[in-house]
């Protein structure tokens, strides 16, 4: 761990290759330039689709935690698939005339090179936003300011640059979109595939829960054999300080829907099937066998495709105030029962 190895830059190299290979098909910008042991790194954002007027936006984020490489890979492989389909897929071409798709596949590049959960300052970016839990959090895991030698460290000097640029970028998207749906891909929690939504800092119901309940119903009916996702507020599992998505949900500068979803891929299932992984630290978070790897990469395509189709259909925009009120009541009832 912490040992430099070329293997750890596979995702960064893949991103560079995608950019070189598909130039002209998208816009890309560096949100942040970083230097690590003589390497130049950047937090890169890639955008496809409508640019010059407000539209639904779907944002895919990966690699917030440097050890959870599968998250970056899931985002990169979906991006690669879209770029390869773009020249011939007329439906995708039409979709991109009305929707913006945005990708930040490797949000913590130094963590990737170091092979660490945290960034270069040993700060856990998902505990680093300026928001405190309202109830007591689990010791250490919930975020702490004891020492940067322990994981889940919140940092002492405000937002780390990686956190700040992601927050600023999402604020920009919120201001220029009719809705923003975000999917942030992680791994390492439990056996099942979870989709978490705010809040992580409190047990209070998220104001956007009605929208999520609606999306859940459409997904369940449209893809009845993809019920492997457990969708719930993160606080049903544990509470944390400093969650970036909680902070962004609270600080949304517009009154338009902002739906941040965290995909927590169930990595324990891989450990159970291949117990030797327990002795390999990165094995906790990444499937090791090739066939399993392919299965994970294809397992979430339907979900990601669903999110961009829902954006294209203006599903969130079309919900009126009265319907939203009813959905919110149903949502609160549903998640109060299922906890």
Which of 83/182 has CB closer to Zn ion? Answer: 182
CB of 128 to Zn ion, least distance (A): 13
Binding region for Zn ion (CB under 5 A) out of 64-72, 171-179, 191-199, 227-235: 64-72
- Which of helix, strand or coil describes residue 61? strand
Q: What is the distance between the alpha carbons of residues 198 and 32, in angstroms, rounded to a whole number?
A: 26
Which of 67/92 has CB closer to Zn ion? Answer: 67
Which of 223/284 has CB closer to Zn ion? Answer: 284
Where b means 16+ CB within 10 Å and e means fewer, 196-226 reads: bbbbbbbeebbbbbbbbbbbbeebeeeeeee
Which of 68/162 has CB closer to Zn ion? Answer: 68
DSSP string, 303-318: HHHHHHHHHHTTTTTT
CB of 184 to Zn ion, least distance (A): 8
CB of 75 to Zn ion, least distance (A): 13
Binding region for Zn ion (CB under 5 A) out of 68-76, 152-160, 223-231, 275-283: 68-76
Which of 214/300 has CB closer to Zn ion? Answer: 300
Tokens of 136: 């007591």
CB of 286 to Zn ion, least distance (A): 12
- For the sheet with 193-197, list strands across it: 27-36, 39-49, 100-104, 55-62, 177-187, 258-265, 193-197, 229-233
CB of 339 to Zn ion, least distance (A): 22
Indicate the residue whose CB is closest to Zn ion: 186
Pick from 8, 22, 65, 194 the residue near Zn ion by CB under 5 A.
Answer: 65
Binding of Zn ion by 127 (CB under 5 A): no
Q: What is the distance between the alpha carbons of residues 123 and 298, in angstroms, rounded to a whole number?
A: 31
Residues in region 16-45 near Zn ion by CB under 5 A: none
Burial class (CB in 10 A: 0-12, 13-18, 19+), 321: exposed
Q: Give the binding-site size for Zn ion (rule: CB under 5 A).
A: 3
CB of 214 to Zn ion, least distance (A): 27
DSSP string, 239-271: --S--HHHHHHHT-SSSS-EEEEEEEE-THHHH
**Which secondary structure element, helix H or strand E, spans residue 60, and what is its range?**
strand 55-62
Q: Identify the bridge partners of residue 231 per DSSP, sorted by sequence position.
A: 195
CB of 189 to Zn ion, least distance (A): 8
Residues in region 168-197 near Zn ion by CB under 5 A: 186
Residues in region 267-306 near Zn ion by CB under 5 A: none
Q: Residues interacting with Zn ion, by CB under 5 A? A: 65, 68, 186
């Amino acid at each position: 761990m912490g040992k430099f190895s070329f293997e750890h830059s596979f995702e960064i190299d893949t991103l560079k290759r995608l950019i070189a290979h598909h130039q002209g098909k998208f816009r890309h910008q560096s949100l942040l330039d970083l230097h690590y042991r003589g390497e130049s790194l950047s937090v890169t954002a890639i955008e496809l689709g409508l640019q010059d007027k407000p539209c639904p936006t779907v944002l895919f984020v990966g690699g917030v935690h440097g050890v959870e490489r599968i998250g970056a890979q899931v985002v990169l492989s979906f991006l690669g698939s879209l770029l390869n389909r773009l020249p011939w897929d007329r439906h995708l071409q039409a979709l991109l005339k009305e929707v913006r798709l945005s990708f930040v596949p490797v949000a913590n590049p130094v963590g990737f090179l170091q092979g660490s959960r945290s960034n270069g300052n040993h700060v856990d970016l998902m505990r680093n936003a300026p928001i405190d839990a309202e109830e007591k959090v689990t010791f250490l895991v919930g975020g702490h300011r004891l020492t940067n030698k322990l994981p889940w460290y919140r940092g002492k000097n405000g937002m780390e640059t990686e956190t700040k640029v992601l927050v600023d970028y999402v604020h920009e998207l919120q201001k220029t979109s009719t809705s923003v749906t975000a999917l942030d891909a992680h791994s390492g929690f439990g056996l099942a595939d979870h989709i978490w939504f705010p809040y992580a800092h409190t047990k209070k119901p998220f104001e956007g829960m009605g929208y999520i309940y609606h999306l859940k119903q459409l997904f369940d009916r449209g893809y009845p054999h993809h019920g492997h996702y457990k969708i719930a507020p993160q606080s049903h599992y544990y509470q944390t300080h400093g969650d970036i998505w909680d902070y962004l949900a609270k600080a949304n500068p517009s009154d338009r829907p902002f739906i941040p979803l965290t995909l927590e891929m169930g990595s324990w299932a891989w450990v159970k099937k291949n117990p030797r992984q327990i002795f390999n630290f990165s094995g906790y978070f990444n499937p090791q066998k090739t066939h399993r790897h392919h299965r994970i990469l294809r397992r979430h395509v339907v979900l990601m495709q669903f999110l961009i189709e829902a954006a294209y259909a203006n599903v969130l925009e079309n919900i009126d105030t009265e319907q939203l009120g009813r959905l919110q009541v149903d949502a609160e009832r549903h998640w109060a029962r299922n906890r």
